[in-house]
Amino acid sequence: MIDWLKAEVRRIGNTTKWSWEGWVSAWAREKSLRQWVLVNVLSAALAFALDLTPGERALILALGLLLLAAELMNTAIEEVVDYISEEIDPRAKRAKDAGSAVVAVTAIAGGVAWLVVLIG
């Protein structure tokens, strides 16, 4: 039991380390991630400044975090595609464009949530 617990703690520690390294790398290289973080900070501040229900606030905050996750996934797709080949290929373009579309759709979802919360 103790060995299992030690292994799990080590696994969680490694996962945390690798996740942090991924964040730091993306932060250093991706201007769009830094821009979305700024948007999220402003959105969160507004969500706490306005008289929203806990559910509305949770939705806004969760969608903001989901947007950051989408941006990180887009970064991962771009890195892998560029690693495989820097040649222009229509499949590589489609993969990168689809990753970008994930970010756009997630941002639209956040915008729709804000619109519904503010109008409703």
Q: Is 89 annotated as a binding residue?
A: no
- Which of helix, strand or coil describes residue 88? coil
Q: Annotated binding residue at 78?
A: yes
User: Is 71 a known active-site residue?
Assistant: yes
Instruction: Identify the active-site residue in 56, 71, 86, 87.
Output: 71
- Long-range pairs of 2-9 with CB within 8 A, sequence gap ≥ 24: none
Q: Is 10 annotated as a binding-site member?
A: no
30 is annotated as contributing to ligand binding: yes
End-to-end CA distance of the chain: 53
Structure tokens at 33: 């991630």
Residue 19 annotated as part of some ligand binding site: no
For residues 96 and 62, what is the distance between their CA atoms, to the nearest angstrom?
25
List, as residue ranges, the binding site for substrate.
11, 57, 71, 100
List, as residue ranges, the binding site for ATP.
11, 30, 78, 96-97
Query: Residues with catalytic annotation?
Result: 71
List, as residue ranges, the binding site for a divalent metal cation.
30, 78
